[in-house]
Amino acid sequence: MTKRVLITGAAGFLGSHLCDYFIEKEYRVVGMDNLITGDLDNISHLFGQKNFEFYHHDVSKFVHVPGEIDYILHFASPASPIDYLKIPIQTLKVGSLGTHNLLGLALEKNARILVASTSEVYGDPLVHPQTEDYWGNVNPIGPRGVYDEAKRFQEAITMAYHTYHQLETRIVRIFNTYGPRMRLNDGRVLPAFIGQALRGEDLTVFGNGSQTRSFCYVSDLVEGIYRLLMSDYSQPVNIGNPDEISILDFADEIVKLTGTKQKVVFKELPKDDPTQRQPDITRARKLLDWEPKINREEGLKITYDYFKSLPPDKLYRKEHNTFEGYVRQRMAK
């Protein structure tokens, strides 16, 4: 019998790529999403496929899925700093209560569960590059605290289920990832810069742009996640691309890529914005024989082509679709 996998956050950026990956590998996929930040357009191509089902559900509430489940991938969560500010309570709940519900479901179904953790557990890191044994430097009550602490709690409860219940668990610490299907208005730096270039607006660099990030193309990340899921390793593993760049240099790359005539303007640096971030991927290299394959030039080109192809309503949309709105729109077609 083909294996069945539950993917939460299925309509989001990473969740939708994971759905594609598992469908491609001929798994049966159950997608789940409450669509507060996800977009059904990301998975509409999967509707009607015999191996794909979708549940419109908030995993912070009790989760029930009939039938067997072999794997659970918990990817539901707001994932950008402006979302944490807009929906802080939901952000906390999905990482904590949502994770608890899914761990319970994994026990019930005797499934292996992989949870999406984040480089944000390292906060504004004092160790560079970040290795998995670094405990982090997080402000629990700052604007990012709702995400960072929910994810830290997620790791703690996942390890507790592993040690207390001998549940098969995996924890991936995801560093900045980019690619098609990011939400153009989610405030993250890549969609922000490309959206600005496409709309003919100036590119907004926060602070002086000396802060660094390391960007991983989505297909590399998905491959790393699959390898971790199939491994027998229950400690956290960093997955990311160590190619580090300052945000100012990144803005220059986007200016060149898009050919925009607009300028780079400087805005206030958000509170608790990490000054540096780069994954140490020694563990992933050794254990999973994994490393990223797509360089930034290649990945950015694919991503820009995707954003260029979007209809104008997505380019200028301030808020994302609701489930009801989406259904209305599909019915009208």
Active-site hit among 21, 71, 147, 326: 147
- Interface with ligand UDP (CB under 6 A), residue total 15
* Residue 161 bears catalytic tag: no
Choices 11-19, 126-134, 201-209, 224-232 (CB under 6 A): range interacting with ligand UDP: 201-209
Choices 124-132, 204-212, 231-239, 302-310 (CB under 6 A): range interacting with ligand UDP: 204-212
Q: Quick one: which of 104, 143, 242, 270 contacts ligand UDP (CB under 6 A)?
A: 270
Interaction between residue 189 and ligand UDP (CB under 6 A): yes
Q: Quick one: which of 102, 192, 222, 284 contacts ligand UDP (CB under 6 A)?
A: 192
The residues, any chain, with a CB within 8 Å of residue 174's CB and separated by 6 or more, are 14, 116, 117, 118, 119, 221, 239, 240
Shortest distance, CB of residue 90 to ligand UDP, whole angstroms? 17
Interaction between residue 206 and ligand UDP (CB under 6 A): yes
CA-CA distance, 15 to 183, in Å (whole number)? 13
Q: Quick one: which of 106, 198, 247, 284 contacts ligand UDP (CB under 6 A)?
A: 247
The two three-digit tokens of residue 128, written as one number: 């560079």
**Angle between helix 296-308 and helix 189-199 axes, rounded to 10 deg:** 50
CA-CA distance, 291 to 196, in Å (whole number)? 31
Interaction between residue 231 and ligand UDP (CB under 6 A): no
Interaction between residue 59 and ligand UDP (CB under 6 A): no
Contact pattern for ligand UDP over residues 149 through 188, marking x by CB under 6 A: ---------------------------x----------xx
Shortest distance, CB of residue 188 to ligand UDP, whole angstroms? 3
CA-CA distance, 187 to 198, in Å (whole number)? 15
Shortest distance, CB of residue 91 to ligand UDP, whole angstroms? 13
Interaction between residue 252 and ligand UDP (CB under 6 A): no
Q: Quick one: which of 255, 273, 314, 315 contacts ligand UDP (CB under 6 A)?
A: 273
Which positions are catalytic? 147
Residues in contact with ligand UDP by the rule CB under 6 A? 80-81, 176, 187-189, 192, 204-206, 211, 213, 247, 270, 273
